[in-house]
Amino acid sequence: MSQADPLSRQSSPEPAPGRYLRVRRATLELCRHLTTEDMVVQSMPDASPTKWHLAHTSWFFERFVLEPLQAGYRAFNPDWHLLFNSYYQSAGAMFNRPERGLLSRPGVTDIVRYRQHVDEHMGTLLAQHPADPVISARVDLGLNHEQQHQELLLTDIKHALSLNPLKPAYRNGAPALGADAPEAVYVACEGGIVPCGARENGFCFDNETPRHEVLLQPFQLASRLVTNGEYREFVRDGGYRRAEHWLSDGWATVQQRQWQHPLYWSPELDSEFTLLGEIELDPARPVCHVSYYEADAFARWAEARLPGEAEWESVACQQAVAGNLLDDDRLHPTPAGTAPLPAQLYGDVWEWTHSPYSAYPGFRPLEGSLGEYNGKFMCNQLVLRGGSCLTWREHLRPSYRNFFYPDARWQMSGIRLARDA
């Protein structure tokens, strides 16, 4: 597989100009429920202000598509490259990430004008070069990058709103309590030599390549995600007070940060904060906003383990991408259905695996600055699979690899159990 392969794939027959505008407008639509004041808040170093997401995704198209590929293009404001570069060292200097909330200027109005400027020039470029493979590939990457930031925009603003004592909702309309979750059973999986990684058709990120074979021992995968009710039993059983369940780093983190339950749960364990405001804790819904450390500790308590990413993919590739995703606009996990099994492989919550985020055999990052997108983060992080209720359906595929540090909790991360056969 050549270096250019991951960027040369086409993911959709939809004409590029139409898809470009649709994805870009979706970002602004997500901001419709926010005030200007909401959009400038940075609640922690891992999160970014909403207006920064709006600007950075525009910077991406300006820096990697318009500047190198549109003759005579002039940057909207060259000084902004410093502000809205995220981590591309080869693209120039960048502003300190934990201090993005200090950037009161440019304001939201100026950033919306920046987006309009970039969109106008991108429209011209796509109209002039409708079939250029280099332009098409970079636009495809840029749109998938923007969809990642749409999910981050929602998880970041959720964290910011949760710190307000009034517990304001991102959007009104609290979900009703769900039906009881179906009984969890373990589905037998044969193992064997299985393919892993992106197929040759359709878009993928470079970290999903190359496709390769993995030897799996027979295993069992839980038929659904772990629920709030099941996780609450772990908490009430002293889960956060018993070191025997925890990895050493996890136990140290629990002690240092004084964790006693998942992020956004009330101390009484009877409610949780959501994008729809504070709601009653529904025991049937999947538990979310747990770190890898918490997921691993729960699995040990339950006399199980977390799946490996190849195990997860070997099962998920047999199902269509369907589930509670951002397309459904529920903005919160829902109880499992009954079929097909295993249920909830896609959507609801990102599922922690025990697999370290590392390169596949034969991996080669993209050339140039875009090679910094994934490869340089392959250290000290864990892989998550399956998407969440804040992920677009078209953005997912069985080979998609998300990754976070093991203490991360502000993403929509949850738990599926596995066992050796």
Task: Give me the CATH number covering residue 78.
Answer: 1.20.120
H or E element that contains 420 = strand 418-420
The pLDDT, as a whole number, for residue 2 is 29
Q: How far apart are CA 18 and CA 414, in angstroms?
A: 34
36 belongs to a structural domain: yes
Q: pLDDT at position 15, please?
A: 86
How far apart (Å, rounded) are the C-alpha atoms in residues 62 and 352? 34
Write down the pLDDT at residue 6: 38
For β-strands 413-414 and 350-356, DSSP reports them as parallel
If the chain, 421 residues long, is cut into consecutive pieces of 10 residues, what is the mean pLDDT of each piece?
38 81 98 97 98 98 97 96 96 96 97 98 95 94 98 98 97 79 94 95 94 98 98 98 98 98 98 96 97 98 98 97 96 88 96 98 91 92 98 98 98 98 94
Q: How many domains, in total, are found in the chain?
A: 2
Decide if 169 is inside a domain.
no
Element (H, E) at 52: helix 50-61
Residues 200 and 155 in one domain: no
Considering 93, 127, 162, which residue would you say is the last residue of a domain?
A: 162
Is position 140 within any domain?
yes
d(CA 196, CA 209): 9
In this structure, the answer to whether residues 125 and 209 fall within a common structural domain is no
Taken in order 283, 287, 290, 294, the sign of the CA dihedral is positive
Residues 334 and 239 in one domain: yes
Expressed as residue numbers, the domain containing 401 is: 186-420
Same domain, 255 and 397: yes
Confidence at residue 166, expressed as pLDDT on a 0 to 100 scale = 96
42 located within any domain = yes
Whole-angstrom Cα distance, residue 259 to residue 249?
13
pLDDT at 1: 26
Both structure tokens of 136? 């098409």
Tokens of 118: 């970039």
Task: Check whether residue 194 and residue 127 sit in a common domain.
Answer: no
Within 10 angstroms of residue 48's Cβ, the number of other Cβ atoms is: 23
Residue 317 has a pLDDT of 96
At 180, the amino acid letter reads D
